[in-house]
Amino acid sequence: MARAGDGSVHCRPLLPPARNAAYAYIAVDTGGHEMDLSLLADFLELARELNFSRAAEARNLTQPAFSRRIRALEDAVGTPLVTRTTRSVALTPAGQAFQPRAAALVRLYAEARKDALEAAGATALSLNLAATHALSYTFVPQWLMQISAPARFGSLNMVSDSHRQCTRLMLRGDATFFICHKGLEGRDSFPDRQFQHHVIGTDRLAPLCAPDADGAPRWRLGGAGDVPFLAYGEASGLHAILEAHWSRHGRPAFATRMNSVLAATNMEMAREGQGVAYLPLSLAREALDAGTLRRAALPDHDIPVEVVIYRPRSRLSPNCEAFWTRATAN
């Protein structure tokens, strides 16, 4: 941010911005050093991925250009934020301290811009809601109708995506609310200082498979030999829930046959007899009741999970605060 001779302030870009950033051309004064706000989004992506190639791809940049932008941010901050070797990337102690503040700043700008546009009448009142694929098919539509939303609080802009992508949307302020499964074990996906959550439902992850010719489950956990397993990719929140549970209680004897970030894909593959999938009962109940899926183990093998809604702790626009009040009333 530069100051003109009359004391006024204006913004200008410092580096070619990442093409998917709404805040790409905003520069901020960092005590004598100018810094492009979009560099914070680059850093946050790198902090999530801990891999320059994947982070650069997510930001729609070449790796050399992305590396230059990270170095420019470190120059503006005045200290290294990441350590780089040929094999690994890690945050320095300074980077670890910088990360939550950078995330808060990116979110605050996105929220401020949205509020300003709504107040000016440039955009209609809206709710930006993200939800994981597994909950978007059945749970979320039913829950929205139960709380008489979204018509009372503005038009609904809903994104259904993987847990990883929805997390990105929340951290950079492109989504105000996020509905997902949350395990009873393992760490939270969001820093507690910046986000809060409320439990809006419960669910269970059950090992399910197709029936055999006699109507019995084609495979049973604990039986002889490895069971073909339909796993979740790392971008899926269900992957993290299962791994956290198995790290404490032991992993079944599985032979992974495929990976997918979509629970619906794993459900269809299970119905086609390709293996056992741990599926949310909120998604698979109809198939289970119809007999096209069977339990591969007794219900005590189910993994209980919560359904939660996240929001930032910072004050939201009046319609979003009203939605949150209604959503958490029960």
User: Do residue 220 and residue 248 come from a single domain?
Assistant: yes
Least-confidence region, from 81-90, 194-203, 291-300: 81-90
**Which of these three, 92, 115, 138, is where a domain ends?**
115
* Residue 106, domain member (yes or no): yes
pLDDT computed for residue 11 by the predictor: 34
User: Do residue 194 and residue 92 come from a single domain?
Assistant: no
* Residue 324, domain member (yes or no): yes
User: Do residue 57 and residue 162 come from a single domain?
Assistant: no
Give me 58's structure tokens.
Answer: 């997510």
pTM over 0.85: no
Q: What one-character-per-residue DSSP string does 33-51 give?
A: -EEETHHHHHHHHHHHH--
**Which of these three, 115, 150, 183, is where a domain ends?**
115
pLDDT at 204 over 90: yes
Mean pLDDT of 18-47: 65
Mean pLDDT of 32-43: 77
pLDDT at 7 over 50: no
* Residue 189, domain member (yes or no): yes
The domain total for the chain is 2
**Which of these three, 115, 140, 173, is where a domain ends?**
115
User: Do residue 103 and residue 12 come from a single domain?
Assistant: yes
CATH of the domain at 69: 1.10.10.10
Report the amino acid identity of residue 245. H
User: Do residue 299 and residue 168 come from a single domain?
Assistant: yes
User: Do residue 177 and residue 325 come from a single domain?
Assistant: yes
* Residue 29, domain member (yes or no): yes
Residues spanned by the domain of 222: 125-330
User: Do residue 80 and residue 148 come from a single domain?
Assistant: no
Mean pLDDT of 160-166: 93
* Residue 319, domain member (yes or no): yes
User: Do residue 97 and residue 137 come from a single domain?
Assistant: no
User: Do residue 49 and residue 185 come from a single domain?
Assistant: no
* Per-residue model confidence as pLDDT tens digits over 281-301: 999 999 999 999 999 999 989
pLDDT at 305 over 80: yes
pLDDT at 208 over 90: yes
* Residue 120, domain member (yes or no): no
Give the whole-angstrom CA distance, residue 21 versus residue 113. 13
* Residue 309, domain member (yes or no): yes
Closest residue by Cα to residue 197 from 161, 150, 237, 157: 237
Mean pLDDT of 196-202: 95
8 exposure class (CB count in 10 Å sphere: 0-12, 13-18, 19+): exposed
Which alpha helices (H) appear in 11-138, and where do they start and end? 38-49, 52-58, 63-77, 93-119, 133-136
* Residue 224, domain member (yes or no): yes
User: Do residue 273 and residue 162 come from a single domain?
Assistant: yes
Of 297 and 19, the structure prediction assigns the larger pLDDT to: 297
User: Do residue 100 and residue 157 come from a single domain?
Assistant: no
CATH of the domain at 194: 3.40.190.290
Give the whole-angstrom CA distance, residue 45 versus residue 70. 11
User: Do residue 44 and residue 101 come from a single domain?
Assistant: yes
